[in-house]
Copies of this chain bind each other. A is one copy, B any other.
Amino acid sequence: MTLPSTYADRNCSLARALEVVGERWTLLIVRDAFFGVRRFGDFVTQLKIPRAVLADRLKLLVREGVLTREEGPAVEYRLTPKGVELWPVVRTLMTWGDAHYSPAGAPRSVRHDHDGGLLDPGGRCERCGQLVPVAETRVEPGPGFDPADEGHDPVSDAINTPRRLLDPIG
């Protein structure tokens, strides 16, 4: 969209949410942000997204309060609390994709960093039963990870090493 025509069904929260994160690329950008990507160039190399589209989406996400744009020695985009609240959406979509498009198992595992327990569909640690907050969540290559995807670019490699969510790469 870049919000040209909006969905008609204004009485549905889903439609409103989709106006923000429902376009092509948007949710992938958010996912990368969870995985520690913060720099414009890193989004480009990891997602292979056209730079103009990325610039548009980042502006939209900043305007909607999902990301902040921070000018330090380098420009950094970071998730706001509102953006962090998208984690259940990203997680459930990944789970669905794993279940139906990864016959060899999930390419990425999501664990409770404290005890290494896998997360169940509801987001609870299967080991301690706790609802795992984003900051205590660790992602790492899973049983279905394809090693052929290693070595293409340093950003992807960084993302594919075990790490806690929101920890910056590099």
Contacts and interface: CB of A to CB of B under 8 A. Distances in A.
A14 B1 contact: no
A94 B9 contact: no
Contact of A46 (B9, B100, B145): B9
Contacts of A107: 11-13
Q: How many copies does the complex hold?
A: 2
Contacts of A131: 122
Interface residues of A, number: 54
A23 B92 CA distance: 17
Interface stretch (A67-75, A83-91, A161-169): A83-91
Interface of A: 1, 7-18, 21-24, 27-28, 31, 46-48, 65, 82, 85-86, 88-90, 92-102, 106-108, 121-124, 131, 145-146, 149, 156, 160
22 contacts: A9-B28, A9-B46, A9-B47, A10-B149, A11-B107, A11-B145, A11-B146, A12-B97, A13-B93, A13-B94, A13-B95, A13-B102, A13-B106, A13-B107, A13-B108, A14-B93, A14-B94, A16-B102, A85-B96, A85-B99, A89-B93, A122-B124
